[in-house]
Structure 1
């Protein structure tokens, strides 16, 4: 019976997380190819990203669009925290703290800061604080994300353990 086989990377149902709980993503080095592909796909053809002779002032190295850093971290969150359970991204508030350049390695720590079950049972609004850091453990971005997460199909009480399906 295939339903008894655990699904890899299954996200958390809202009942399986708690306010104050923390998670860490994997790390990802951002390459020149990542920058070129991202700016080409999005149309972010701003001089700072396409002209390597452009003077960046205080930034040493090839700048990475903040939207690319954010997208990579959200990809990690999608793959490990909300895959199959995320229903909607409702709100995001971002603040860039330091530049990211080609060759930097980024990762994030996620803290659950709020869980509010909705009036429509079996879902909740979950708020997370995401702190993004580079390979030197320097903060480069912080943001809050408000998401709608599904509840367990069998709808157990909050705080019950995560099942293997």
Structure 2
């Protein structure tokens, strides 16, 4: 739709009584492309909650906000599965984040991701958390991943008289 949320975190993800996901709090949202445009508008401002902010937002250069949301979505999943965030901020000042980047550079899987996932989900999560934004998958590629294709979803029955 041309909008990056820029503040994805569990507190902004709501479920209706029919089990539908609703994303809330678009106060930091950013339009990265209008419907008739082909080019993406880069962002220059960091926003969101520190554990979910992607590493490129700490650099003094423009970045693609779409990939910041991909990063945050992976952190949300890890937080939901592990019951905690993997690090406080995605900067070299954070020891846990440094450990993550060192594991990635060595070709190892980060222990926390390895502990809460299986092989197929581990691969897509590591790609979503690639410290180089251009190497992260986009939304379509993420949704086409083998892991997400195999996820069984509940289909809530809807009451036709109520909005979803």
Q: Which has the higher strand share?
A: 1
TM-score range, shorter chain: under 0.3
User: TM-score of the superposition, structure 2-length normalised?
Assistant: 0.26
User: TM-score of the superposition, structure 1-length normalised?
Assistant: 0.26
Q: Which has the higher helix share?
A: 2
Higher relative CO (CA 8 A, sep ≥ 6), structure 1 or 2?
1
